[in-house]
Amino acid sequence: MTSTFLPDKRSGPDTAPPAPAGGPAPGRARRRVLHWLTAVSFQVPALALFGLLVLLPMLFALYASFFRWGGFGMPSDSIGADNFTRLFDDPVFLGDLWRCLVLVVFSLALQLPFALAMAVLLNQRLRGRAFYRMLFFAPYILSEVITGILFSMIFAPDDGLADHVLGGVGLDGIGGEWFSDPSTVMATVFLVMMWKYFGFHMMLYLAGLQSIPAELTEAAIVDGAGPWQRFRNVTLPLLAPTLRISVFLSVIGSIQLFDLVWVITAGGPDHHSETMAITMFQYGFKRYQVGYASAISVVIFGISLVFALAYQRFVLRRDLEGATTTMRGGGQ
């Protein structure tokens, strides 16, 4: 797959898998250094930018998370891991974790299946499908701020579009408080998220569906498989890599959710829609407890990372299973 530049066609033993492995080349030490320098010189601009503006702030946040620090001057009052122990004793933060889980479950159980259904639908030859594709995807490119303001007006109690529509069809009992009621705020926020993001996942699936060779589906038809069997045994396994990406992005998005909720509810009422990133922002920018806020950001990062690593392992296994399933499905 990959070729490397001539001076080091046979790269050293420590180089990474895609490079052709080979034995050490003793007389070429100088050339190897030169090669290394060439390769790395291409990395310098990216590394400088990334190191200065991403890594440095990240490391600083990590450092600050071990201090009681109000954001004035440099941190000096070191308190060890106190911020972290306090964090897992904080009902608001524990609530954030719970709400994050709820969002993930909602997304996986409702949003992604819905996106998949729409993708399958729009993968057929239907009049106007290009239009629908565009319409369903359009909210994704709108900014969170615009979406948030728009929906806070649509779900305004009594005066908003949502209540007028429900009132118009005689369902005024359902509407009313939306973002204002602790028991409905998460569901309403989720509706807005679905409106904004499902089209994105749908597009991913559509692309995946289009790359499934038609012969496979035709072969399944010849074998007498019905639509559901075809979906279950041909489409779904072949879509696995796409699903994997989509689930991953959806979970990471839920863990790091900020802008949209910030604009609509700022986490309220009474913390019922607060996310980890909002709690972090509240502490960092409103309470001047920057050390504590940094600890939250470290935890958000940690959760994302642990999830990513675990997911990679889990998914790799699943992908292999998917491959065998496909073979079995094809053999029947």
Q: Is 66 in the site for other proteins (CB under 8 A)?
A: no
Closer Cβ to other proteins, 163 or 329, answer by number: 163
Q: Is 281 in the site for other proteins (CB under 8 A)?
A: yes
Among 101, 174, 187, 266, binds other proteins (CB under 8 A): 266
301 closest CA partner among 84, 143, 76, 107: 84
Closer Cβ to other proteins, 10 or 232, answer by number: 10
Cα distances (Å, whole numbers) of residue 4 to 21, 36, 326? 11, 11, 35
Q: Is 290 in the site for other proteins (CB under 8 A)?
A: yes
Which part of the chain contacts other proteins (CB under 8 A), choosing from 98-106, 214-222, 265-273, 318-326?
A: 265-273
Q: How far is the CB of 123 from other proteins (least distance, A)?
A: 11
**DSSP SS3 for 21:** strand
Restricted to residues 156-215, the positions that interact with other proteins (CB under 8 A) are: 156-159, 161, 164-165, 168, 176-182, 185, 195, 197, 199-201, 203-204, 207-208
Closer Cβ to other proteins, 49 or 174, answer by number: 49
Among 29, 98, 270, 321, binds other proteins (CB under 8 A): 270
DSSP result, 87-113: HTT-HHHHHHHHHHHHHHHHIIIIIHH
CB atoms near residue 238 (< 10 Å): 20
**DSSP SS3 for 12:** coil
75 closest CA partner among 67, 83, 87: 67
Question: What is the C-alpha radius of gyration for the chain, rounded to an integer number of angstroms?
Answer: 26
Measured between alpha carbons, how far is 108 from 197 in angstroms, rounded to an integer? Answer: 13
Among 25, 97, 102, 150, binds other proteins (CB under 8 A): 150
Q: Is 330 in the site for other proteins (CB under 8 A)?
A: no
Peptide bond into 45 cis (omega under 30): no
Closer Cβ to other proteins, 58 or 327, answer by number: 58
Among 25, 28, 68, 97, binds other proteins (CB under 8 A): 68
Length of the chain in terms of residues written: 332
Measured between alpha carbons, how far is 289 from 82 in angstroms, rounded to an integer? Answer: 13
Cα distances (Å, whole numbers) of residue 306 to 64, 81, 108, 256, 301? 21, 19, 19, 14, 9
Among 78, 85, 143, 332, binds other proteins (CB under 8 A): 143
Which part of the chain contacts other proteins (CB under 8 A), choosing from 213-221, 229-237, 273-281, 323-331?
A: 273-281
Restricted to residues 95-134, the positions that interact with other proteins (CB under 8 A) are: 118, 121-122, 124, 126-128, 132, 134
Q: Is 222 in the site for other proteins (CB under 8 A)?
A: no
Closer Cβ to other proteins, 20 or 320, answer by number: 20
Closer Cβ to other proteins, 101 or 227, answer by number: 227
Measured between alpha carbons, how far is 322 from 208 in angstroms, rounded to an integer? Answer: 15
Closer Cβ to other proteins, 240 or 296, answer by number: 296
Restricted to residues 13-42, the positions that interact with other proteins (CB under 8 A) are: 14-16, 18-19, 35-36, 38-40, 42
Cα distances (Å, whole numbers) of residue 287 to 42, 69, 71? 43, 11, 10
